Amino acid sequence: MNGRRYLFSGNVQGVGFRYTTQRIASRFAVVGFVRNLSDGRVELVVEGNDAEIDAFASEVKLALSQNIEGVSTDRLPATGQFDSFSIRH
């Protein structure tokens, strides 16, 4: 299991980004969370195998492409602390 952190910028808050991301996550073997940041970006932390993470992230980017202006990605060690995918507030 591996982890990744994505930071999305653009028109990504107040447009259903977190809900859409959670809905997409339900179709993949991934766990983690998505949340709004105070600086206007959205943070996505996800754990799973690389193929599932890649497919999930590609779906998110495709579904929300009209809202995303930039994405940064960092690899993280998997923590095993998540048992589902959730929206954090």
Q: Which of 2, 5, 35, 36 is catalytic?
A: 36
d(CA 40, CA 45): 16
Q: How far apart are CA 42 and CA 33, in angstroms?
A: 11
Catalytic residue selected from 4, 18, 41, 67: 18
Active site residue 36: yes
- Here the tokens at position 40 are 């206007």
* Contact call for residues 30 and 53 (beta carbons, < 8 A): yes
Q: Is 18 one of the catalytic residues?
A: yes
Catalytic residues: 18, 36
